[in-house]
């Protein structure tokens, strides 16, 4: 991460040099990051160079999703919960930790998923978040675009559940379980981001939407 900070500085120097030689505006520099500034994947501690990010990047895209997925098939889990009463693995926790690390808030951009993660339930009668699972569910390697989730739900008469405390959706059809975001959860996440006065929000990825139903929320949602 120290070297990453040096690299960001070298890029900014190069961008300034290029702009000066061409007379054009400086190129924008950004990066996609983990949902929080501290990374502990594989039990290896890493911390993003926040000072270098503030100085050299125009913004960062925090990937506030993939909190659970096909890498753990033992139980279902939320893809991108805004809150999690049982752990710090949540979008609110991640964004707050970036702010606590003194990121310039206008450089902080919240990621929103336009896809779902799927599991095959061990027992279809036990289908809540954290229910025992045995394999990935429908889709490619346990993932489906948001549009595909909607089609699957309609075709299979799936039971759709909105978990209000966590701010996340899941659907169940037989042994198939899908965790994802929909209109109501996206609206609340955008309002939350606005309340923090951060730089904005992005979707990964817009081609997963269904008739722009989700992505248009970015321009239609405002704090009351």
pLDDT at 102: 98
Q: Span 102-122, mean pLDDT?
A: 98
Tens digits of residue pLDDT in 179-203: 999 999 999 999 999 999 999 999 9
pLDDT at 223: 53
Angle formed at CA 208 by CA 206 and CA 214, multiple of 5 degrees: 65
In contact, 104 and 54? CB cutoff 8 Å: yes
For residue 132, give both structure tokens: 């025992």
Q: For residue 192, which of 93, 48, 68 has the smallest C-alpha distance?
A: 93
Please tell me the pTM assigned to this model. Answer: 0.93
pLDDT at 222: 56
Tell me whether strands 30-33 and 59-62 are parallel, antiparallel or unpaired: parallel
Q: What is 2-220's CATH number?
A: 3.20.20.80
Q: Is the peptide bond before 102 cis (omega within 30 degrees of 0)?
A: no
pLDDT at 91: 98
Tens digits of residue pLDDT in 204-214: 999 999 999 99
In contact, 76 and 131? CB cutoff 8 Å: yes
Predicted confidence band of residue 40 (pLDDT cuts 50, 70, 90)? confident
């Amino acid at each position: 991460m120290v070297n990453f900070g040096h690299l960001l500085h070298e890029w900014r120097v190069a961008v300034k040099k290029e702009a000066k030689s061409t007379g054009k505006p400086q190129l924008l520099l950004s990066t996609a990051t983990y949902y929080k500034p501290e990374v502990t994947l594989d039990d290896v501690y890493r911390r993003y160079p926040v000072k270098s990010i503030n100085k050299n990047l125009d913004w960062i895209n925090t990937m506030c999703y993939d909190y659970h997925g096909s890498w753990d098939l033992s139980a279902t889990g939320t893809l991108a919960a805004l809150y999690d009463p049982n752990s710090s693995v949540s979008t609110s926790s991640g964004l707050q930790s970036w702010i606590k690390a003194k990121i310039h808030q206008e450089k902080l951009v919240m990621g929103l998923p336009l896809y779902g993660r799927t599991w095959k339930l061990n027992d279809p009668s036990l289908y809540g978040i954290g229910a025992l699972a045995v394999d990935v569910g429908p889709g490619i390697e346990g993932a489906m675009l948001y549009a595909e989730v909607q089609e699957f739900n309609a075709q299979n008469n799936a039971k759709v559940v909105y978990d209000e405390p966590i701010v996340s959706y899941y659907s169940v059809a037989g042994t198939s379980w899908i965790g994802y975001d929909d209109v109501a959860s996206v609206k609340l996440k955008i309002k939350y981001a606005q309340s923090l006065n951060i730089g904005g929000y992005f979707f990964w990825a817009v081609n997963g939407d269904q008739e722009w139903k989700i992505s248009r929320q970015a321009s239609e949602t405002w704090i009351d």
